[in-house]
Each structure stands twice: as C-alpha cells, then as structure tokens.
Homo-oligomer: A and B are copies of this chain.
C-alpha cells in the first residue's frame, strides 16, 4: 500500500482547531486500512512569523514541495495587522501558491439542501445550486511587478500594482475550466473587464481561441466581471463553471460562497500542472481564520474535512474513501448536527470537536 505524504499547515485563528478534526479523520482512515498516510505539521502565517520571523520558513516550503498534498487551514488576524507588508501572514500563503505553481484554484459553491434557509437569498434561487469557480491563482495583480509605493518630489506617495497576464497563463487555466465543465453540465462562463482592461481583452481572446481549438463541444459565454457579480446575486443557478482571473476570482468566489449559506462548509483545491502523472496540490477551506471565534470550539470543521476529501479524490486517487467521507458529512448534517454558523434559530449547536466526532461516528 502506497504511503501518501501530507503536510498539515494549520496556520492561525480557527485553523488549528479545524485541522485537529482532520487529523482525527486521517487517524481513522489509517486504522481502517483505507490507506497509509505520513503526516508532518508545520507553521504558516502569523504563527510562523511569531516563531521564525517569516510567514513561511524555507523549511516549511521545502516540506510542502516534498509532500504529495498540502492541507492548509487559514492565516491572518488583528495580532499581525501592523507587520511590514513583506512579512504579513498572507505572504506565506501567496508564496506557497507561487512557488508550488498552484495556478488553478477550484472553488465549488454548493448549496446543501439542509442549509438552503441559511442563505441570504430566497430559497428557490439557491436550492440545488452547484457551481465551480475556476480562479487563476499565480498571476495577475497579485504577483505582477512593479508593486511598490514611492514618494514623489512633492511629498505625495504613489502606489502601483501591476496586472499582468500572458497568453500561456490564460490558456492553461481556460483548459482546466473547459475540462472540468465536460465532467459537469458542459458550460463555461468567462468573466473579465475587456471594456476597460487590456488583460481582459487578451483573456477574452485566448479563452475564445482555446474553446474553438480544443473544446468546441463545451458551451461558452463571456460576461463582464461587474455584471457577473450581479448575475450571481440575481440568478446564480445560470452558471456551471465560471473561469476568471486572480483578483476577480477572489471576489466572485467569495460572493458565490456566501450565496450558498454554507461558507463554513466549502473546501477548495489549488492545483499545479500535471508532471509525470502527478501534480502539486494544496487544499484549504474557503473561509478565513475568523479570529473573533478562534480557540472557542465554535468553528465549523466541515470545510476543512471536505478539503481532505478533495485531497483523497484528486491527489491520491482514493475515490471510494472520498465518497465515504463526503457521505459521512452528508449523513451527519441530515441527522441535524449543526455548528453555530449553520444552526437555525432555536437549534442547539455543537462545537468543533463534537462535529468532528459526529462525522467519525458516521464513518
């Protein structure tokens, strides 16, 4: 039986709590003989900054590169609000994305039937919602140079960020989106601002070409990013796969996640290119570090446990184990077990650890 090497990076805020539940599930999977896992744990974000003075040590980066998959919790919090830009907690995550080449971020936005009423939207608009945002993750304004603040002669400051995309970067993310759509409802919407941005012009041109040359069987629609944000609110079910750049993807995927009413439930995968049959991958919940509820056993561990299920499926080929784990989550919810974020009014909520144990019992 192959041993799968996993690096756990719990990070800050609620990260360690939700990761603890993942460790329990990994322990169960090993004991049940499903697969053999070798896990290491390291620091990232504010936790790494406190310990090593940097938000990601070279050592941790090396371990991430050597692992078959990285499970990532969350980073950041008010404690590190004042640290210099280059050492802020988020820089640890951005460095992982960039240095592992994780250019494709898949963010499913699924509305769990049991939770449709938790959505801000009317039930009929979100019930059955199942879309995936494919966000480009290693380009755009996140990494483009120059990125600087300079002081001008008149004493003013001037800040610059640079949005850059090459046709190659757009091609590979478009291919991921079309490929995914073929396994789903066969429709892709591509969002940009070609009416204002040159990167949007190139984005639209390349997506159109990749579609015509390699995926003519998939439905393709172009939509302006501002209109797309509106459409997500008006009628999210019109979309299947939505592909967009790093910055628009940051915002649109958060809107889509919030629509579902299930923010604490949504996992995500960040994937690199396939090389020799394998690809680097990092799995993380869509939610953030939620410092306001950290350390109180209040966080919902399902997004983090669901991220493990994605890792089983996409990095280790353990499709049955992934089904098993996702089934256990669904049954736990169906049985009415709720953490505070998804408990309706009048419903008794359980804690992070209790939710983890309820899922283990269902396994």
Contact = CB atoms under 8 A, between A and B. Distances in A.
A239 B149 CA distance: 30
Interface in A228-271: 229-230, 233-235, 247-248, 250-251, 254-255, 257-259, 263
Given A233-B233, A251-B229, A76 B120 contact: no
A76 B196 CA distance: 12
A3 interface: no
A348 interface: no
Contacts of A229: 229, 251, 254-255, 258
A168 interface: yes
Interface stretch (A23-31, A154-162, A299-307): A154-162
A149 B234 CA distance: 34
A293 interface: no
A152 B251 CA distance: 30
Contacts of A195: 76, 88, 90
For the side of the interface on A, what is the size category? Answer: 35 or more
Contacts of A327: none
A210 to B, nearest CB: 13
Contacts of A230: 254-255, 257-258, 263
Given A120-B121, A230-B258, A159 B165 contact: yes
Interface in A150-199: 152, 156-168, 193, 195-199
A199 B161 contact: yes
A147 interface: yes
27 contacts: A85-B198, A120-B125, A141-B141, A142-B196, A144-B160, A148-B198, A156-B167, A156-B168, A157-B166, A157-B167, A158-B164, A158-B202, A159-B164, A159-B197, A160-B163, A160-B199, A161-B162, A161-B198, A193-B250, A226-B250, A229-B229, A229-B251, A233-B233, A233-B259, A234-B258, A247-B247, A255-B255
